[in-house]
A and B are shown apart, each in its own frame.
Chain A
């Protein structure tokens, strides 16, 4: 069946790597479902811990979803016109601007958070509201949105397509609506899924910016490990997975599709 020893070796290494990643994950998830972790599975399975997580942290979950959606809307409102502008006016200035938008990628989340705190920390109302975290998330996710849309737009002859629409009587707004947006859709979809996934999972920056009344999903997770029974923290991990894994898979699919179109 196997052609050679190298093939067998390759398979073994792959399986080993998978096990290395999967075993702790499975253990962690199982811990969230067992009655008593220290006694092991023999103590029986239960959904008690999951309910407790829901009681304790449902607010974090809703805050995170709310933040992710708000972040998506803001990055779309800023990112789509920005990507369009960059695609329509290629040149060194555009390249500089693109790099500038991408700067937060190179800066550690921690540093970004500190900068935000220094700048706006004294504005009490703002500092204590969810919009403060939103600003951080937008800064961090915007480059993903812009680049994802830009890659798709740059791959087509947008100028000529728009000129075609213009000769047919379309105003600038109609061209944007009928030509630019539909053709950018694969990039928008990939960007949107990336933004939502990153916003839901972002920890570094959020941990610095959060207040005791504003804990997001990952911040709540850290909190549960620090202050709750191990079973509750593990059940939290399970919920986290259930939310983030399908998104991650959808994101992979959408990005691969967008890349195929951009190529």
Chain B
């Protein structure tokens, strides 16, 4: 069961011994006793307790109670300050930190590259040498190309920690990201930003920004009567916050899971409906067809709260307005016109008491039709039979889903970020989700919502203050999207990268490796030797969130709470906290005055300068007194979005996208996935659909070297017996996964939960976890022009990928 059985780990801090020749080169640099004595010297064998919020990127933000004995972390439990069990949680990964923090796989000292880039040969150097090397290269780059030529890029997990360095360096820093926004790209413009769309206090800033976030928070699910989960495996992906779904089921909601594979959500749902990968938009369009055919829509909602009655010029495709067409960059007055049946006249939509949903009007010799008529006409070419053929879901089942969704009284549509969100037609799916809402009015009410339940809280999110830099100290916006850097002309010559974003947030990773190799200098800041660190010239050893120099290591506002990160232990080995690394660099650049001198000062600034009334009175002292967690004043009420209005210029749900006219997607039209479509001729060569999923033991690339989680599983691919038989494969065989972009080698396991024709794999494994290559060598990096015109811009179609599998 355990990969380490029989190997004594007693002297667990003996040496690095990790990647390639690293151990040999760095030999003798560490000494177990030395590192530990600094933490334990003088401590009595008594215990002390600290509270901290743990991870961000699993979406759970658990506040944990940590017990230290002799200066070491011995116990990690849920923070019992929370009365509500929904918040009082920890997961398998949180507990595995007991080992992972002390892992001999950590980057222990600053490391300097000695071999070629990619060879992972490093020698240990001092912090002084490391900072000198970094600053020498910063200055070289600045002199030659200017400050913006330096990229400071952080993974999602690291970004909140690096709030200072990009400004201090005047570095380019990441813009929009191309990930987790596939459906939001098509849904959110229809809803608009949610700020101010309800008269209740408390906001959720990200809603409507392009992330397909759930319009109601998960606590609302218990009011749902029908929950349709599509490509969502929240029981593993957002493990600690998923119990709400079972509570909803116990309260009487019917759970229907649509997924190509038998996910854990599928296993727990009342019904599992298998679907062909890449066809979720067809499912939604088919549902819309049924709802329209059977007239199950909510006419009152359509008239009052959507753009269905808006009149569209049949020649130009533009909507008829009271005033001029809004010029680029000018505010849209939201002054679209409708035909008011009450007065039988043309009026502004907000003045009509009975706007017509249907009917052709000729005004000044121009023919106008309503958005609804165009929508219905559009659907006529997509009957439910077509949806059935594409999705492989029987017609009767599609009809049943559509009817149940439209007529339950309170329905929620719940997606994930891992399936169709990473396929090129995701925006069309998102746009159709908005159409389903427009038809049924399933939004802004108890139990009626839509969005990705991929982040466990999605509750209120208070706005904290931020550090004020002196005049002129500020970062620049990266002009090219990070994942497009390998493909587009850009001004980046040096990169400082915290966290393995390069391997996880770019597809076709060999191209990213080439880009990294071509940079003048790469500095990695990390706790572990992951995949991108192989390409670094310098690695700075970061401390984990449990370790800090000062008494506090962060504050955040999430899910209706403000939470504190208290110090558990001193930084281990020769690591430093992210905060300290930033301050050290600022000081060496003579900019010490531009940054706070302690994390405590930063935390106080963030709390004291917060403009948010819902956290008034919350201070560092009050947080400490309350075990590091305090609720926002609105937390007693469940957050629901778009209750009173939408955030669009007309304040209505605007389904009609004029900017998509050049692409024929002003209303959603089916389009097959760019690569994974069933009819793609490439399937002759690469017949298998390849996608990754979020494992319960990892947060993407995090925890892949966790000895406690590796007790349970390591890297592998899974396939159905049919596909294994066709290739003469047995469970445990070593296989090669191949396409034109690249290949990798790992073992294959039989799992009948996997849909025939598919290969699946937990996401994020490091190069050293597989036997050759990298899982990300296969994924699709092509982009569609259409996406660049949407709210979030280009997306990465990671899951729009075909491969072949053969015995290695």
**Do A and B interact?**
no
